[in-house]
Amino acid sequence: MEKPLCPRESGQFVSEHSRDVFIEEGGVQEVAEMLYRLRHSEALTASGWKKANPLALLPTSDQALNWVFVVDTMNFSFWPEKEAEQCEVTYKGTTYTGYMTLCASITRAVEEGVPITDPKYFSQMSVEELGLVLRSDNEIAMPMLQERHQALTEGGRVLLEHGGSFRSFISQAGNDAQKMVELIVEKIPSYRDEATYEGRRISFYKRAQILVADFWGVMEARGEGSITNMDWLTMFADYRVPQALVYLGVLRYSDTLMQVLKNGELLLSGDRREVEIRGCSIWSVELIKERLQKLVQERDGQTCDINATVIDFYLWPFAKEHHKEMAHIPIHHTRCIYY
């Protein structure tokens, strides 16, 4: 089988052939201008990782790196079947939904003495044990428990084969972000986020890329070395950031697609429309990044090191904070292990 296009090339290829999702030049310019105004703020630095992951363990130990691995290996499909019926987890007096239920569950388990960050444990834990770790406050369970269990135990076995920790595993790729993604995708099947579109094999690697980006965020917080080639990473194509890109006028959906999404129709993983939403999201953020770099060069006479990862670190919390204003824009629903 042919090697798939890398995520950036995939995004460009999809955007050039898309029939239902379109990138708006004016929206790209406006968001680049918005980010230009924020260019010196903490929101556009690696510390944006902490804003998106406030429940992460303190980055002072390698346990924090294993926490990142556990969370990212199960970081998929949190949307509820019905908006009013969400899985909820309360931790230290705050009730969380969505992705944050996973973070709260894992950090709660650590405090309860469950060795959930130890690959020796989570590589062989039972479905029932994981269900207890991921238990909700209400009768609505976190979706896809079986799939999360399979992904986590599989990932744990891979870590045990490569030194017994996420840090020892990822160190085999040196400090190169691209090689890290390639290593993760090669060794851990649940991270192989690929599809076929217009006869070409393409890739998004959302979870593999975010795993590398989270590792980068933790290491930056520790002031411990740097990862090279971070600009190889793209945004992380999920369902929340595309909604924000539509809201900001960067993406436009065809009337047909918009109606399908408003009707709540489930899109299968690999469906042409789902691929177009994700691919155009990737390429639109690449265009925003290029425009932002050009603005900084033209106006400040400086080079701009804000990459797609940092832009995603800004857009994801932005989407959460403005979810009420964006409620009229439907997210696409795809039940899968990739995002």
Ramachandran assignment for 113, one of left (phi > 0), alpha (psi -120 to 50 degrees), beta (any other): left
Give the separation between CA 159 and CA 215, rounded to whole angstroms. Answer: 15
Say if residues 66 and 165 touch (Cβ distance below 8 Å): yes
Catalytic (active site) residue 238:
yes
Active-site residue, from 72, 193, 214, 238 = 238
Say if residues 251 and 285 touch (Cβ distance below 8 Å): no
210: nearest Cα among 28, 61, 74: 74
Q: Measuring CA to CA, how many Å separate 164 from each of 94, 133, 155, 192?
A: 33, 22, 11, 22
Give the separation between CA 82 and CA 86, rounded to whole angstroms. Answer: 7
Say if residues 293 and 306 touch (Cβ distance below 8 Å): yes
Task: Cite the active site residues.
Answer: 238
